[in-house]
A and B are shown apart, each in its own frame.
Chain A
Amino acid sequence: MPRHLLAGFSALSLLVLLGSAQAGDALNLPTPEQRQAFRRPNVVPSPADNPTTPEKVALGRALFFDRRLSASGQLSCAACHNPSLSWQDGLPTGIGHMGARLPRRTPSVLDIAWTEPLFWDGRAATLEEQAKGPLSGAAEMNMAPARLQAQVRADPAYVRSFKAAFPGQPIDVDTIAKALAAFERTVVSGQAPFDRWLAGDPTAISPAAQRGFVLFTGKASCAQCHSSWRFTDDGFRDIGLADADPGRGKIVPGLPILDHAFKTPSLRNVAERAPYMHDGSLATLEAVVDHYDHEFVRRPSLAVQMKLLGLTREERADLVDFMRTLSSDDPPAAPTKRPTG
Chain B
Amino acid sequence: MMAPMTKRLIIAAALTACACGAAFAAAVVTVDQKGIAFSVTSLTVPKGGFVRFTNSDVTAHNITITGRGGMVNGGLQQPGQVFKAPFMQPGVYQVTCGIHPKMKLSVVVK
A236 touches B58 (CB 8 A): no
CA distance A235 to B102 in the complex (A): 8
Interface of B, helix, strand, loop or mixed by DSSP: loop
In the assembled complex, B98 has its CB within 8 A of some CB on chain A: yes
B73 touches A254 (CB 8 A): yes
Residues of A within 8 A of B101 (CB): 116-117, 122, 125, 234, 236
CA distance A305 to B100 in the complex (A): 15
CA distance A125 to B66 in the complex (A): 15
CA distance A248 to B100 in the complex (A): 11
CA distance A261 to B101 in the complex (A): 13
A224 touches B36 (CB 8 A): no
CA distance A125 to B59 in the complex (A): 22
Most-contacted residue by chain A among B58, B78, B99, B102 (CB, 10 A): B99
Q: Beta-carbon contacts of A217-237 to B below 8 Å, as 1s and 0s? A: 000000011010000011111
In the assembled complex, A255 has its CB within 8 A of some CB on chain B: yes
Interface residues of A in 218-269 (CB under 8 A from B): 224-225, 227, 233-237, 248, 252, 254-255, 257-258, 261
In the assembled complex, A100 has its CB within 8 A of some CB on chain B: no
CB distance from A127 to the nearest CB of B (A): 13
In the assembled complex, A304 has its CB within 8 A of some CB on chain B: yes
In the assembled complex, B75 has its CB within 8 A of some CB on chain A: yes
Residues of B within 8 A of A305 (CB): 59
Choose from B59, B62, B100 the contact partner of A255 (Cβ within 8 Å): B62
Q: A235-B36, A252-B64 are in contact. Are A257 and B99 (CB under 8 A)?
A: yes
Residues of B within 8 A of A233 (CB): 36, 59, 100
B73 touches A255 (CB 8 A): yes
CA distance A58 to B13 in the complex (A): 47
Residues of B within 8 A of A254 (CB): 73
Choose from A235, A252, A258 the contact partner of B59 (Cβ within 8 Å): A235
CA distance A3 to B62 in the complex (A): 53
CB distance from A49 to the nearest CB of B (A): 16
Residues of A within 8 A of B98 (CB): 236, 248, 252, 255, 258
CA distance A237 to B58 in the complex (A): 15
A257 touches B100 (CB 8 A): no
Nearest CB in chain A to that of B71: its residue: A254
CA distance A323 to B62 in the complex (A): 30
Nearest CB in chain B to that of A225: its residue: B59
Nearest CB in chain A to that of B75: its residue: A255
Residues of B within 8 A of A116 (CB): 101-102
CA distance A159 to B64 in the complex (A): 43
Q: Beta-carbon contacts of B92-103 to A below 8 Å, as 1s and 0s? A: 000000111110
CA distance A192 to B48 in the complex (A): 52
In the assembled complex, B76 has its CB within 8 A of some CB on chain A: yes
Nearest CB in chain B to that of A125: its residue: B101
Nearest CB in chain B to that of A248: its residue: B98
CB distance from B105 to the nearest CB of A (A): 15
Residues of A within 8 A of B100 (CB): 233-236
CA distance A254 to B9 in the complex (A): 13
Q: A233-B100, A252-B98, A255-B75 are in contact. Are A224 and B59 (CB under 8 A)?
A: yes
Q: List 21 A-B contacts (CB under 8 A).
A: A116-B101, A122-B101, A125-B101, A224-B58, A224-B59, A233-B59, A234-B101, A235-B36, A235-B59, A235-B99, A235-B100, A236-B98, A236-B101, A237-B99, A255-B64, A255-B73, A257-B76, A257-B99, A258-B99, A261-B99, A304-B59
Q: Which residues from chain A sit less than 8 Å from chain B, CB to CB?
A: 116-117, 122, 125, 224-225, 227, 233-237, 248, 252, 254-255, 257-258, 261, 304-305
Q: Which residues from chain B sit less than 8 Å from chain A, CB to CB?
A: 36, 58-60, 62, 64, 73, 75-76, 78, 98-102
Q: Which 4 A-B pairs have the closest CB atoms?
A: A235-B100, A252-B98, A233-B36, A254-B73
Task: Please name 5 further chain A to chain B contacts, defined as beta carbons within 8 Å, in addition to the given A252-B73, A255-B64, sorted by A numbering.
Answer: A122-B101, A236-B99, A236-B100, A255-B62, A304-B59
